[in-house]
Structure 1
Amino acid sequence: MIRNLDYKITQEADSILSFLKEHGYSSNLIVHLKKTPESILKNGIWSYVNEPLHAGDLLHIHIEENEGSDHIVPNKMSLSILYEDEDILVIDKPANMPIHPSMNHYEQTLANGVLWYYATQRIPYTFRCITRLDRDTTGVTLLAKHMLSASVLSKAMQQKLIQKEYLALCDGVTPEHGTINAPICRAADSVIERCVDFEKGDSAVTHFTREWTNGQISLVRVKPETGRTHQIRVHMKHIGHPLLGDFLYHPEDHSISRQALHCASLTFTHPITGETLTINAKLPEDMQQLLSQS
């Protein structure tokens, strides 16, 4: 993957290094640039990172990655691409698809499909997923295409600057709106299950608004303020309205073959342009069918 960036310097900077750090370049990326010939040009001249910058200088950065995620096997598959430019890739992830390969699932993950997508273009690609979803949760998934966009977006995630909105189908009639403030921790004697625990749990906050109900189930728009594992699933169960089809937290319901949870919207600042983007993904067919049948 290759990305070229040009900066017209408008004010003095102590060094190229300080300028790059202010613009989100990680230490690893800066080391990578220092090792790559002519990756840092000031006014057309290959420069050291300790050189100062003056107003009017032109700084050219050349990011080149010639090796990709060689440990991930490319698999041919159809990808639903919601948005793509030189810096990011946004995909509508389907159900029954893990993000990464694992010990028992080496192929047919999102990573395998994205590696195939770029392999067909003969582009070396390192898989960097910024917003991860559970295997059976569908919807908007954000990936970085190079080291800089990954650095900027990872920091934005840590600072909770990337906002997700989910749509969930819940059992029963939920309140019209509300906030669930209930700490979450791993359930005893379980590797994957979580539970609300006000003594041992980590802080978790979820906001929700009911979009629709037929008196038996509800379509709820959910905005998690924190990002705990299974947070929405655990919180909706906690208030007595578990997600339909959730084998862990509502095993008696078989109206859908997975938890009825969809990441419908992602709002974030573009890592290079600074533009605010909102990417939406329509409700998947299996959740639409439940609504149409109700």
Structure 2
Amino acid sequence: MSSNSKSNSLQNYPTPLSPPLPSISRDIELARAMTASSKSSLFGLSGRDVLYEDEWLIAVNKPKGIYCDTVLASVPRFLSDSPDSDQLCQENQSSTLELHLANRLDRDTSGVMVITKSHKVASMLVKAFTNHKVQKTYVAFCIGSAPQSERITIKSGHGRSKFGAWRVYAAGDVGRKLPGGSRVRDMETTFEVLSINGQRGYREPSECMKDEENSIVVEEKAVTDVDAKKDEILVRAFPRSGRTHQIRLHCQYLGASIVCTRATFSFVRIPKFNKLANRMHDG
């Protein structure tokens, strides 16, 4: 292929609309990946990591910097070494455990992972996630420009740029091909502003639902003002989709970088799993 043909081919790829990443970000990402690989090779699930267990599933706290598949791979050894788990297996399961990840977390994110012990339960949970019967809620502390609206829903595209970084793309680019062969996927998050610089105070979701919502459909590059005042912003985020770094990407696009997050989830119209969620939240 000639240089002109290559140039024309590259021009057909959609353009990322996220604020530009600093040049040092590549070195930071490489260092994180190397650290995660090292930590993951030494990781072993222990009793203090287990939040809940029964004959159907086990809920564990995934540490930051550990891959989900590493946690999954460590479960059989933990179960074989645990007297309580052995008893559960003997009483309720007559065949070999069929372990599946019910949910995933980003490598650098800590939080609850649910691992099912049978194909049947895994199928139920996959269906629940697919049908949006599982609601994921994140409370995030951000630094940046305070939004004008108290409730914002942002819709955009999501994908990897030519440098391999996850970026925000235009909503109109969903379905278009990206370098490497992947395609832009849809991404949607609703944010509720809980407080700005400590003002307003924390509110329950039912109270936030009364606020007028501002909808943003991303079609243009993010505009950043480096001289703008940096506020401390507490937001509650409800990701409608489950894309990698979704909340971080949308916060970044809105002009506020995440400092830390806390995640919970609940099951809608599934009583058995709601009891599980309550047990994990109480713990």
Task: Give your verdict on TM over 0.5.
Answer: yes
Q: Which residue of 2 aligns with 1:195?
A: 168
Whether contact under 8 Å (2:56, 2:121) holds in the other structure is: yes
Give the letter aligned to residue 185 of structure 1. H
Whether contact under 8 Å (2:156, 2:169) holds in the other structure is: yes
Q: How does 1:60-75 map to 2 (within 5 A)?
A: 75=44
Q: How does 1:145-294 map to 2 (within 5 A)?
A: 145-172=117-144, 174-175=146-147, 177-201=150-174, 202-214=185-197, 216-244=231-259, 260-268=260-268, 270=270, 273=272, 277-279=276-278, 280-281=280-281
Give the letter aligned to residue 83 of structure 1. Y
Q: How does 1:95-114 map to 2 (within 5 A)?
A: 95-100=64-69, 109-114=70-75
Deviation at 1:222, TM superposition (A): 0.9
Whether contact under 8 Å (1:268, 1:277) holds in the other structure is: no
The 1:75/1:274 distance shift into structure 2, 3 A limit, reads closer
Q: Which residue of 1 aligns with 2:3?
A: none
Deviation per residue, 1:267-293 (Å, 9 max, x gap): 35559x47665345589xxxxxxxxxx
Deviation per residue, 1:80-101 (Å, 9 max, x gap): 333222212222322112101x
Name whichever structure is richer in helix by fraction. Answer: 2
Whether contact under 8 Å (1:90, 1:141) holds in the other structure is: yes
Whether contact under 8 Å (1:269, 1:277) holds in the other structure is: no
Instruction: Report the identity percentage.
Output: 27
RMSD: 3.1
Give the letter aligned to residue 132 of structure 1. R
For 1:182, what is the secondary structure of its paired residue?
A: strand
The 1:84/1:173 distance shift into structure 2, 3 A limit, reads farther
The 1:223/1:76 distance shift into structure 2, 3 A limit, reads closer
Say whether 1:136 aligns with 2:108. yes
The 1:230/1:274 distance shift into structure 2, 3 A limit, reads closer
The 1:226/1:117 distance shift into structure 2, 3 A limit, reads same
Count of residues in Structure 1 that have an aligned counterpart in Structure 2: 188
Say whether 1:84 aligns with 2:53. yes
Whether contact under 8 Å (1:183, 1:204) holds in the other structure is: yes
For 1:233, what is the secondary structure of its paired residue?
A: helix
For 1:183, what is the secondary structure of its paired residue?
A: strand
Whether contact under 8 Å (1:161, 1:268) holds in the other structure is: yes
Whether contact under 8 Å (1:75, 1:115) holds in the other structure is: no
Deviation per residue, 1:195-228 (Å, 9 max, x gap): 2323313332211223344373223221111222
Q: Larger C-alpha radius of gyration, 1 or 2?
A: 1
For 1:242, what is the secondary structure of its paired residue?
A: strand
Deviation at 1:150, TM superposition (A): 0.7
- Work out the CA distance in 1 between the residues paired with 2:258 and 2:42: 34
Deviation at 1:73, TM superposition (A): 10
For 1:238, what is the secondary structure of its paired residue?
A: helix
Q: Which residue of 2 aligns with 1:24?
A: none
When the two structures are superposed, what TM-score results if normalisation uses the length of structure 1? 0.55
The 1:126/1:191 distance shift into structure 2, 3 A limit, reads farther
Deviation per residue, 1:128-165 (Å, 9 max, x gap): 11111101112222221212111111111221211111
